[in-house]
A and B are shown apart, each in its own frame.
Chain A
Amino acid sequence: MTSARPSLAVWKFSSCDGCQLTLLDCEDELLDVAGALDIAYFLEASRATVDGPYDLSLVEGSITTPDDVERIREVRRSSRRLVTIGACATSGGIQALRNFADVREFAAIVYAQPEFVVTLDTSTAIADHVPVDFELRGCPIDKFQLLDVISAYLLGREPNVPAHSVCVECKLRGNVCVTVAHGIPCLGPVTHAGCGALCPTYDRGCYGCFGPMESPNTASLTERLRELSMPDDDIVCMFRTFNAYAESFRRAGEDIAGRTSRATVPPYPARPEERHDAQASRESHDEGRRSGARGG
């Protein structure tokens, strides 16, 4: 190592590679990145690797195997600064759906000889295993946020990655709120900004790709989704996607699932005049589902 430039390593754990590709997608800025950093380890881009230690490590993917548990410790040991990128690395990703079920059962269904599959019961974030210096959210991450995180590192400043809601981005763009104006269920109010409100800009509700915002009130939003006639099962599914195991999204799903199965748990204290309606429609919906089950 004779280069004066800081060295960069990009690591992959359980993931789809989309976040690493975001770096390669930087097209216009890629040469600047390559000029400012010595790309020492990035298998997605080059077979040529340089041994560590590395100044900056970008880690994609979640921890799903015993080997991952060991390898991330090694990566941490060889990295001066470790930044996790994407929903898998920051919350366990879509594959964390296994955390709500029995992964061995899945393996038995999918693989002819599941005994060859060595896997953990859970998919968890990198920060659950080693100290992380910065988490960049998104499924996938946003190119401009990634460039800002790299630029901030190079210049020793804080990255501009606000943790407020997607609603802020909608309002900056001048979008018409899809929930208020069109009755479309949207996770924007509880979701971390970063995508530039991509889906609401195209008249879709937010899917929560960037995980929970800084102070997510999932209970209040759940009530609102119910008012929009969304069945509880669907609300649980809405919270359980790419960031299913992020704490507040996980709890939101568990709260709904718990309340649905245990009628004694008091409902969320909505405004008195609305509670009646929301409860009535929920009960009639449950009734419909039960009779549907009987019919089936």
Chain B
Amino acid sequence: MLLDVEGLGQLIRVLGERGLQVIGPTVVDRAVVYDEIDSADDLPVGWTDEQDGGHYRLHRRDDEARFGYVVGPHSWKRFLFPPRTVLWRAERGDGTFRLIDDRADISRYAFFGVRSCELHAMAIQDRVFLDCDEPDRTYRERRDAAFVVAVNCGEPGGTCFCVSMDTGPQATEGYDLLITELLDSDRHDFLVESGSDAGVEVLAALSGRAVDDDARRAAAEVIEVAVESMGRSLETAGLQQLLEENPEHPRWDHVAERCLACTNCTLVCPTCFCSAVEDTTDVSGGLATRERRWDSCFTMDFSYLHGGSVRSTTRARYRQWMTHKLATWIDQFGSSGCVGCGRCITWCPVGIDITEEAAAIRADVLPTAEKVEVI
């Protein structure tokens, strides 16, 4: 179906009428973040982003594009795997211990404007949280209830490399509806395709035009242009072996000099899933709360075992993160942990670039004799 600009607003209204809280891109603090949107006016209309290592700026476009930017500092994990989740609370009475049943209603979201790389990130987190003996209940409930409106990327950013990771820019699965924005001097339409029964249902509630050959051609062109516009690239051939065989590469010292161990890369990453569990009590000791919050392999507490942190140096922590993301993740979950969204590059305060680090190790591989056997 082809929707015009009005039709896009209608789509957001219809999702709201179905009892879904619509979360989509919107401009807050001069950046595109994901937050609740009420209408198409809340989208970053006519904005685009300039991204590079440690650098992000919004600029005005000379058109009224609704999706003329890429991903910002937020990712959808913020809603599926929230920064803080209360696991349980309990009250102490006279010799009793009582769990408080205060489970909130399940949040039912419509994620609006999800990029292909982000669909892949969700699929990766699905494997982490759900394909295991103890699936995560909060994640499961939110994921099952979510309606996903994806959008094909028309203008990748300066730190994007989804083509290298084979995760975009065209969305192929994992959505209920898929939008391609068609914008030129003659038209401003949104080609909408359904990817599920729920998507078909929503589409039926919209009034649009039939898709013509022109629109199909224009949509294909959007993807072609995007494929050629990647700001970064990452050579993935043999990458797993390369990293696993080079734990003592001097590049790790080099990156450790620049790395702040601030955790930003991991917290903006749409696949990083680590958390810490914190127990708190009130002063009287009558109420205890166990909470899960985002954690990062860059903190000292993260690898703290009896007697100290296993990864006490920044070198060890960066190596752990990057090697896990690009190599051992494949052993653990069957795919790379990187979707090429570029957030870790853009939002690193000192602009450390995972593609540049990998390329540097590849360019200067140690002689075989010096390699350390990985056990």
Interface residues of chain A, those whose CB is within 8 Å of chain B, are 29, 32-33, 35-36, 147-148, 150-152, 154-155, 157, 160, 162-165, 167-168, 171-177, 179-182, 186, 188-190, 203, 214-215, 217, 219-221, 223-224, 268-271
Contact = CB atoms under 8 A, between A and B. Distances in A.
A33 B283 contact: yes
B105 interface: no
B285 A151 contact: yes
Given A165-B261, A215-B314, A179 B278 contact: no
B214 to A, nearest CB: 38
Interface of B: 28-31, 33, 54-57, 72-74, 78, 83-84, 257-264, 267-268, 278-285, 293-294, 296, 298-301, 314, 346-350
B8 to A, nearest CB: 25
A113 to B, nearest CB: 48
A188 B260 CA distance: 10
A171 B264 CA distance: 7
Contacts of A176: 28-31, 33, 72-73
A160 B314 CA distance: 23
Contacts of A180: 54-56, 73, 346-349
Contacts, number: 140
22 contacts: A29-B282, A29-B283, A152-B281, A155-B285, A160-B279, A160-B280, A163-B300, A167-B264, A167-B349, A168-B263, A171-B268, A173-B83, A176-B30, A177-B73, A177-B347, A180-B349, A181-B73, A217-B259, A217-B314, A224-B54, A224-B349, A270-B258
Contacts of A36: 283-285
A165 B84 contact: no
A32 B262 contact: no
Contact of B260 (A150, A172, A221): A221
B300 A177 contact: no
Contacts of A217: 257-261, 314
Given A164-B300, A219-B257, A189 B283 contact: no
A90 B364 CA distance: 45
A176 B78 CA distance: 14
Contacts of A190: 260, 262
B207 to A, nearest CB: 35
A168 B267 contact: yes
A167 B28 contact: no
Given A217-B260, A220-B260, 16 more contacts: A35-B284, A150-B283, A151-B280, A151-B283, A154-B283, A165-B263, A167-B260, A168-B294, A171-B83, A171-B294, A172-B83, A176-B29, A180-B56, A188-B349, A220-B258, A270-B258
A217 B268 CA distance: 20
A177 B349 contact: yes
Given A36-B284, A160-B278, A174-B74, A214 B350 contact: no
Contacts of A215: 261, 300, 314
B287 to A, nearest CB: 10
A164 B301 contact: yes
A181 B57 contact: yes
A212 to B, nearest CB: 12
A210 to B, nearest CB: 14
A172 B263 contact: no
Contacts of A188: 262, 349
Nearest to A191: B262
Contacts of B279: 157, 160
A171 B29 contact: no
Nearest to A203: B29
Q: Which of A148, A189, A269 has the most CB of B within 10 A?
A: A189
Contact of A167 (B263, B278, B293): B263
Nearest to B52: A180
From B262, B267, B294, B300, name the one whose CB has the most chain A CB atoms within 10 angstroms.
B262
Residue of B56, B259, B346 contacting most chain A CB atoms (<10 Å): B56
B350 A220 contact: yes
B264 A177 contact: yes
Contacts of A175: 29
B294 A179 contact: no
A42 B31 CA distance: 47
Given A151-B281, A154-B283, A221 B350 contact: yes
A86 B283 CA distance: 20
A233 B28 CA distance: 33
